[in-house]
Amino acid sequence: MTELLDKTTTKNLSKPNTKNLENNSTKKLEMSSARAKKIKHSYQVKDAENALLLQTKYGDVVIEMFPDAAPKHVERIKELVRQGFYNGLKFHRVIAGFMAQAGCPRGDGTGGSGKKLKAEFNRIPHKRGTVSMARAMDPDSADSQFFICYGDCPWLDGQYTVWGEVTAGMEFVDLLKKGEDPNGMVQNPDEIIAFSVIADI
C-alpha cells in the first residue's frame, strides 16, 4: 500500500537532478501524433525546427530563432539543446531593466561548452525579448552563454550576435530572480528546468 510521506520526511528527500540529462534520456509519456501536432501548433511558431521551448518554474518561454541572420549560432544552440546541455543551468546574472543571462555550466559566467563561435553580428536590434549571445572581449569568444533583453539596448547592436526572440512567455522572464550587486550576479538563482526544440516535442 502506498503511504503519504509527512512534511519532515519529504524535506530530507534529495531533489531530482536534470542537469546535463540528454532530452532523449529523460522518460517521456507516449502521445499520439495528433496530440503532438496539437501541442506544437499551440505555440504558434513559424518554424518548429527553429523554435525553442524554455521551461522555468514560472512558466514556459517560446524563443523563435533567426537561422538566416546567425546560422552557425542557431545550429550550435540547437545541438546543445538536443544534448540536454542547458537543463538545470542557472540564470546566474540578471539585471532588472537590462537582461537575464544563462548557459554557464559553472554558474558564475566563466564556463561554456568548450566550443567557441565566430561572431555573426547582424542588423537585428537588441530590444525587449531579444535573445543574444554573451561573449568576452574577443568578438569570436561566444560559446554557450546567452542573454534575454528586458528592454531596448541599442548600445549592444552590432556588438553581440542576435540569434532569436522571445515570442511568448516574456512575462515569465520578467519574474526571474534579480541580482543585488552591480554586476547582477544572483544568489540562489532560478534555473532552466528544460530546454527543447519545439519540433522534437
The verdict on residue 31 lying in a domain is no
Q: What average pLDDT score do residues 112-129 get?
A: 98
Q: What is the pLDDT of residues 136-190, one digit of tens each?
A: 999 999 999 999 999 999 999 999 999 999 999 999 999 999 999 889 999 999 9
Residue 105 has pLDDT above 70, yes or no: yes
The verdict on residue 17 lying in a domain is no
pTM: 0.81
Strand bridging mode 130-133 / 146-149 = antiparallel
Residue 130 has pLDDT above 50, yes or no: yes
The predicted structure's pLDDT at residue 49: 97
The predicted structure's pLDDT at residue 43: 78
The verdict on residue 22 lying in a domain is no
The predicted structure's pLDDT at residue 195: 97
Query: CATH no. for residue 103?
Result: 2.40.100.10
Q: What is the pLDDT of residues 4-31, one digit of tens each?
A: 444 444 445 444 454 555 555 444 445 4
The verdict on residue 147 lying in a domain is yes
Q: What is the pLDDT of residues 62-88, one digit of tens each?
A: 999 999 999 999 999 999 999 999 999
Q: What strands, in cross-sheet order, belong to the sheet with 130-133? A: 93-95, 99-102, 146-149, 130-133, 162-168, 60-65, 51-55, 194-197
The verdict on residue 37 lying in a domain is no
The set of residues, in sequence order, having a beta carbon less than 8 Å from that of 115 and lying 6+ positions away, is 76, 143
Report how many domains make up the chain.
1
The verdict on residue 98 lying in a domain is yes
**Segments forming the whole domain that contains residue 172:** 51-200
Q: What is the pLDDT of residues 35-52, one digit of tens each?
A: 556 556 677 899 999 999
DSSP structure class, residue 96: T
DSSP structure class, residue 186: P
Tell me the pLDDT band of 128, cut-offs 50, 70 and 90.
very high
The verdict on residue 42 lying in a domain is no
The predicted structure's pLDDT at residue 182: 87
The set of residues, in sequence order, having a beta carbon less than 8 Å from that of 16 and lying 6+ positions away, is none
The predicted structure's pLDDT at residue 184: 96
For residue 126 the three cell numbers come to 537588441
The verdict on residue 141 lying in a domain is yes
